Structure 1
Amino acid sequence: MEKREINPWKWQDARNYVQAVEVKNPEATLYISGQTAIDSEGISSKADMRTQLKKALENLETVIKEAGYELKNIVRLNVYTISHEEFFREWDVLQDWTVQNGIKQSGTYLEVKYLFETLKVELEATVVR
């Protein structure tokens, strides 16, 4: 597999994402359903945004590793949140996670009216191998 990042500008570098990711000759692609702060018993979190974001990232990691993929090969990460204001106050959690795992992904951040039950954030990813 070959992966190439396309960044016509430099401003996005400080936000740790890329404008586009080109993948040539992938062996396989993993499309991951939205991961949230739901525990292993299926109970939705009632915690704050920061805690829910950490749990959603943990759940995303679990799915990726269970499938035999690597975090660094996330090529797209879409974030759905019920509050951009709350989410971007906790932005450092996602920023630090992507840096720590060597992830350079494209993505979209969307505020939605609501998510399932008491959830505040949902992460949808595409990973290649």
Structure 2
Amino acid sequence: EGGRRLGGLAYSGGFLFASYDRVRASHVLIYEVLANGLQGELIEQYEVDVGGTEGLAVRRAGPSSKEVLFLGGPERSVFAYIFRFVTGFELHGACAALAPESSSRSAAPGRRAGAGGLLPLLL
């Protein structure tokens, strides 16, 4: 619909993360996964400033946080974020140190997170 395509799909700690590429940004939908393995209700959704998404990885970073990596952007780079429910995405510490201060924004549900920090990939 409207040029939207699946840019990545990942599972972590009972939640399914689906990233839909919207050319200039990624729309991330987070669903609970039921005991039978099926997708449950939509829990939260966010928009992250990473366009051209071609991959997504999620893993537990702490008791209430997850590391989320997006592969995409015009530079074909890895964009790293820390995710927490309710408060959303913020640049990963490794990327925040590289990014200008204004791009180290967090995104609450339904909000955008900037993509200031990136880790170049040699592809």
TM-score, scaled to structure 1: 0.27
The one of the two structures with greater contact order (alpha-carbon pairs below 8 A, sep at least 6) is 1
Larger Rg: 1
